[in-house]
Amino acid sequence: MPEAPLTRDEAVADVDALYQPSHDEFARQRMIGVMRNHAFHNLRYAVADEYEKVVAPRLAKEGKPLPQDGHAIDKVMQSEHLYRFYSAIRYNSQEMMYLSVQDPVLRVAGDMIEIGRDATARNPAGGSLRLAENFEVPRYVTAQDIHLAPGCFHSEYTADDLTQGAILQFGSMVGVGGMAHRKSAGVVAQSVSNWLTLKYPDFKPKRILDIGTQSGKNLIPYLDEYPDAELYGIDVAAPCLRYGHAKAEHEGVAIHFSQQNAEALDFADGYFDLIVSSFFFHEVPVPATKRILKECYRLLSPGGVMAHMELPPSKLAGPVLDFMWDWDTQNNNEPSYRAFRGQDPAQLVAEAGFAPANAFEVHVPNRDSFTKEQRVAFFRGEAKAPLHGKGSWFVFGGRK
């Protein structure tokens, strides 16, 4: 006797539950996480100390001019053994974190895809998935495997494929395994949304758009602060959207995912009250950045807010910090990294149409790292926020 068809009200299965690495696979992943954590939090700062305490004094003693920016420091450091060791550890651990999850994902790829199809067919949580026929993924995405992830974000290998989305998700979990401040999914959204409620206590967005949403993990936490808001997420990568849609429908969260290029979105003027992104703009060329920010302005309702978490600009960092943050430009397949950081966020926001008086650039304290009282003190300017990535997140944007 055939099984009765599932009804709309029955939850979608948990696509993540299918992912079951073996003992040896898990052990390898833990090792990779420790390596990457060591490179990020120990070797990277050891390299900075090496420059300031050894290389710079040596250059001065030799009568050579000191580098004036991060790119120039990088050129000087290329021949230093510690820097080369750091780069080797960081590069290889970055590449391995995705490779280490491929086998356990691909073993269950067929079942994952079936869950994705079920989610798309029924949408029991009330969300939706809208993919475009013959969609042209931008060249700046397809030209390289961004973040050293094999296949990048967008690659599909079979009908209704979502495996690349799963590989990116589980690979990133391996990568942050040793970084306590990044373990919680959506930690950026939790921090930014909490800061927005402090800055704009009257602000109650009805619709929220996340640009470059991938699986939506940095969109869902906005419901903690704005439980009545409708959630929308756009991305160019169909596998990530399928995976994110399956996860959201399983968790009972209604998100409207659509495959779109953020440079030209099909939503009506003023459709959104809050537009956000997380680590997105440094992945696109500066001309695209400017077009996207203008789209944000067009899409915001009067009084709406744009808040993008990004890398701090060069103007807020000295040469050594620039050198540390810009490693990814040449080593992590992120060629727009340095060029984006060379821009002035306040100027970009003004060029997009926002009044300068309504723009902001701020280091938002990580919600899980500080008490509410401490976060309020940061907000009031009574305490200095820590560095981006070491207890806070740099956010820029404005209110229309």
Instruction: Name the residue type at position 286.
Output: V
Report residues of the chain scoring pLDDT below 70. 1-9, 178-186
Distance CA 46, CA 388 (A): 18
* pLDDT tens column, 238-282: 999 999 999 999 999 999 999 999 999 999 999 999 999 999 999
What pLDDT score was predicted for residue 305? 98
What pLDDT score was predicted for residue 108? 98
Distance CA 213, CA 151 (A): 18
Rounded alpha-carbon distances, angstroms, from residue 171 to 29, 94, 152, 206, 349? 9, 9, 12, 33, 33
Q: Counting beta carbons within 10 angstroms of the beta carbon of residue 79, is it exposed (0 to 12), middle (13 to 18) or buried (19 or more)?
A: exposed
- For residue 241, the cross-strand partners are none
Distance CA 208, CA 219 (A): 8
Rounded alpha-carbon distances, angstroms, from residue 231 to 171, 198, 222, 320? 25, 21, 9, 39
Distance CA 205, CA 226 (A): 7
Q: Report the predicted TM-score, pTM, of the whole model to 2 decimal places.
A: 0.94
Q: Tell me the three state secondary structure of residue 211.
A: strand
What pLDDT score was predicted for residue 179? 42
Judge contact between 200 and 223, C-beta under 8 A. Answer: no
Structure-block tokens of residue 308: 């993008």
As a whole number of Å, the end-to-end CA separation of the chain is: 60
Residue-by-residue DSSP string for 57-75: HHHHHTTPPPP-SHHHHHH
Instruction: Please report where in the chains the tokens 């695209």 appear, as a residue.
Output: 288
What pLDDT score was predicted for residue 27? 96
Instruction: Please report where in the chains the tokens 């939790």 appear, as a residue.
Output: 190
Q: Tell me the three state secondary structure of residue 112.
A: helix
Q: Please, what are the domains in the chain?
A: 178-399 (3.40.50.150)
**Total residues found in the chain within this entry:** 400
H-run or E-run covering 164: helix 163-175
Using CA of residue 385, residue 387, residue 393, residue 398, what is the dihedral sign?
positive
**Three-state secondary structure readout of 277-326:** EECCHHHCCHHHHHHHHHHHHHHEEEEEEEEEEECCCHHHCCHHHHHHHC
